[in-house]
Chains A and B, each alone.
Chain A
């Protein structure tokens, strides 16, 4: 009787955790981007603002590259390519590369908000599976 009770409790807990996991992991990525936005807005020095943004982009690109090296589902791999291209384009624009006009110093706060707004919108259409999203969140924490 006791073992049946334990099984039920574990079953309920696992069910709740599994369905909540994906959402929590993508939210962690959003939280990371928001922490960059906050840091950029709080930083007074424009050179440091640009450094913060570049470091953040590099970190996300590194994470996505590390995740891509793993054996992840095909759909997740496509989603990662789209995400990586999106972040790379933002970095290019920040630094005025690949045909972009360099983001002006006085616009860096707005630019960081733009990156966040764009990622929040993209998260609705770029779907990443539970395991891959967890992997991204974990590597992001470790770097």
Chain B
């Protein structure tokens, strides 16, 4: 399935109804029970400033934090963890200052918040997952949603991702391992993972995350710093059987609408039903690996639509992928009107006149 921007399921129609007009109270659950866990991981250890259409400067991570806190107060049937990964400083280069912050909401109420430091030289998110596991482990729900906000997670060579800890690598492998560490049991999966980052809707990332999630919402190409809107997660308060796919569709629709009104650059969002991709489309992962190993990348800072690469088979690779796409209003891509939903790394060469040339394909 692709490019069906306007396909509305009953759940999305319900979400639109809730968004625009209702004052209906959510179903009140037993306050002692936790039906689901939501984890917000908000990276703030880099430059996240942007200007909105009115010229006002905004810090994307602070904005995402505020939105997460507002949503957390409405999630009365579950628990919400919010981690803000601010730059880590040290007193006299030795003593950690605990600049990172965590907020814990249970049944819509803020019940705890604390400062913490990242673990030195350990798995990405190990400090966060340790804090997560410390809260009422025995009462945890097995239904988990995880939302990550940050810059593009590099496929490899992820040094300098944390600007205050440039020697620590953060890449697709360490992030996938880090996300896995939030699962309480090896047989569990996240219902939904959202990667609110540029260029991470790739065969590499999908392959990394398919063992640990049912559905992934990510951007195969550019995503403006104003990020993916996650307020549609509150659908699970109204419809306990809400499917992760439809929650992801509602989030993508919200985000697409908002970005269409505010940015001039390309908008690309894809929902991957990882269970559907898994059995049928194994070959995209091997084909992409082969492409990567033969292409001798120089500066993989930008993605292109995988459909432009010779290994791509549109018929085989579209199952389980649903895409929202709007072309950039200017630039070389302004004439591109469709997207496969898969992003592949563009291997740029710089010519003598410093113009971009085509990518290498062997």
Binding site for B on A (CB under 8 A): 8, 11-12, 15-16, 19-20, 22-23, 26-27, 30-31, 34, 37-38, 78, 81-82, 84-85, 88-89, 93, 98, 103, 107, 110-111, 113-114, 116-118, 120-127
Contact = CB atoms under 8 A, between A and B. Distances in A.
A34 to B, nearest CB: 5
Nearest to A35: B55
A78 B264 contact: no
Contacts of B152: 124-125
A34 B89 CA distance: 30
B343 to A, nearest CB: 13
Nearest to B91: A12
Contacts of B198: 121, 124-125
B159 to A, nearest CB: 9
A15 B331 contact: no
Contacts of B142: none
B55 to A, nearest CB: 5
B55 A37 contact: yes
Given A120-B224, A121-B225, A126-B301, A19 B92 contact: no
A37 B355 contact: no
A116 B224 CA distance: 11
Given A34-B51, A124-B198, A114 B160 contact: no
A134 to B, nearest CB: 14
B311 interface: no
B49 A30 contact: yes
29 contacts: A12-B91, A15-B91, A16-B89, A19-B87, A19-B89, A20-B87, A30-B47, A34-B51, A34-B57, A82-B301, A82-B350, A88-B355, A89-B332, A89-B355, A107-B330, A110-B330, A111-B330, A113-B53, A113-B264, A114-B330, A114-B331, A118-B331, A120-B49, A120-B50, A120-B51, A121-B222, A124-B46, A124-B48, A125-B301
A116 B299 contact: no
Given A82-B301, A88-B354, A15 B89 contact: yes
B151 interface: yes
Interface in B104-138: none
A78 B299 contact: yes
B225 A120 contact: yes
Contacts of A127: 160
Contacts of B90: 15
B157 to A, nearest CB: 10
A11 B224 CA distance: 37
Given A11-B92, A114-B330, A117-B265, 8 more contacts: A19-B87, A19-B163, A23-B46, A84-B354, A113-B264, A124-B151, A124-B198, A127-B160
- Interface core residue of A23, A78, A84, A107 (most chain B CB under 10 Å): A23
Interface in B213-231: 222-225
